[in-house]
Structure 1
Amino acid sequence: MSVEVTAGVHASWGAATDRGLRRTLNEDAYLASAPVFVVADGMGGHEAGEVASACAVDVLRARLVGRSATPEAVNAAIVEAHREVQRIEAEPGRAAGTTVSGVVLSAVEGVPYWIVVNLGDSRTYRLSRGALEQISVDHSEVQELIDSGAVTRAEAAHHPRRHVVTRALGATGAVDVDYWLLPVSANDRILVCSDGLTGELPDPFVAETLLAESDPQAAADRLVAEAVRAGGRDNVTVLVVDARALEGADDGSSLTTPRGHDEPDDDTLPRGSRPGSGTREAAR
């Protein structure tokens, strides 16, 4: 699908999801409706994860789709979704929750930006000038171990705590979400995915696939199919969003953003430039 979203940006996108080969439910949910493109991966046992991810997506759809999406509006929608997910009943001893990661197309003084949002270990990447860059920072125990030098990335892939996230929508207390403001560049391609993709396919293979498939729906379909073929140990969801026909955007070389709690304020650095953080735990 392709529409003019904001500030002269024409976006086209594709979306695909699969429950995988080992799960009875698909606890992933996604929203791909201009200007919002997000993935949510639920947790909480039984059907609580499925309900939590769907609840988060429903709130974001109601608050943001078809409207002017400012950073303040995005943050307000995330806070509301957090409160709604907190009301969901889960298994005894567990809390319902969900990751959320993705982008919202916005404009600041007429210049188009991606507002990148992240909580948990779903991911948002940008493919630009042939290079794939992870924008979001995982909120997970293994990411903190990697950042501290306790384990390597190869060791983290098989760590017994690799599925434990340290922040989630619906966790106890105030929402603790990361935001980035990323200037839109000509021919940007955004990838948003649950960990069912990144747990099965290495980033270089993902980058090759995104470069090989020019159509965003074909790219999303192929990535999901490849993740299932590689093992399909988890639900897998992929959104691919392309930006075209830009007016007024800069070269997209900088990454600046507020960091959100109840109000967006502090700076959040790009992937690889900040240590891991977070104290709340939720395990799938």
Structure 2
Amino acid sequence: MSGRLLVVGLATSLDRYAWLPTFTAGTINRPTEVLARAGGKGLNAARAAAGLGVEVRSIALIGGETGRTVKALGHPSDVRFLDSGAETRQCLCLLDAAGVLTEIYEPVRPVPPEVWPSVRSAVADELAAADLLALSGRVPPGLGDHVLAELVDLAHAAGVPVIVDSDGPALAAAVRRGPTVVKVNEAEAAAVTGGGPAGLRALGARSVVVTGGATGARYLGQDGRELVVTHDAIDGAIPVGSGDAFLAGFAAQWLLDPADHGTALRVAAAAARANARHLPAGDITGETVRSELPAVRVS
């Protein structure tokens, strides 16, 4: 794999997965298997990219006892952990034998604004060795809506392409700085512009991908080119982390050929499909992604 991917995730979590014969609210439920992972969108995307053979460097904010647990768990990418000054959240995914998924996610805790200069400095340092920057996940309360926009500016100054996958006011501010690609889902796009790819392009993004889960994705390029991604249905699909896998697949192919967004979209959708086959999130490989390519169409 050619090139190095830098993934920045500001809303890290300790992800816990439990597999149960059945799950019934209001009773005692006993899982047959449990697993703890360093997670959140940034580390999930980095894990998926590493599984595809990409050289990945990650920056992740962690704090408190939970943050120390996240760090001790390890990660397949090379992670630079920074102290958030706030307890890292925990997220729980319960999957029963019938394929019913229950998710319980703690809110992202506020991070003191004085943490931001150290994050900004770390990203500036790491950009010197990066070929592509991915800003993945939401911004914790307290840091301000400007922070992703500042990181887009840093990437531009370093001559490094940047992909933004976030939401809310921080996403809107980052889009106005003209990131190379904005990759969001339909709800995230609608919350910023009330519409799809065209609204984000008008706001400042050079190229836009809006994903729709089972319905595929829509792309609008800097040159006005429009592409539609469709794929076959997956029975019992598990969506946790599939958007992060989509980002990883797109980035992996981008590093091979930055000019071919059509192929990048096809690989991205295949990566999302591979991720949706099972838990935990982000466990994909080049082989599992290649096996999904025949089910994906870009037109």
Fold conserved between structures, TM > 0.5: no
TM range (shorter): 0.3 to 0.5
Question: Structure 2-normalised TM-score?
Answer: 0.32
Question: Structure 1-normalised TM-score?
Answer: 0.33
Query: Rg bigger for which structure?
Result: 2
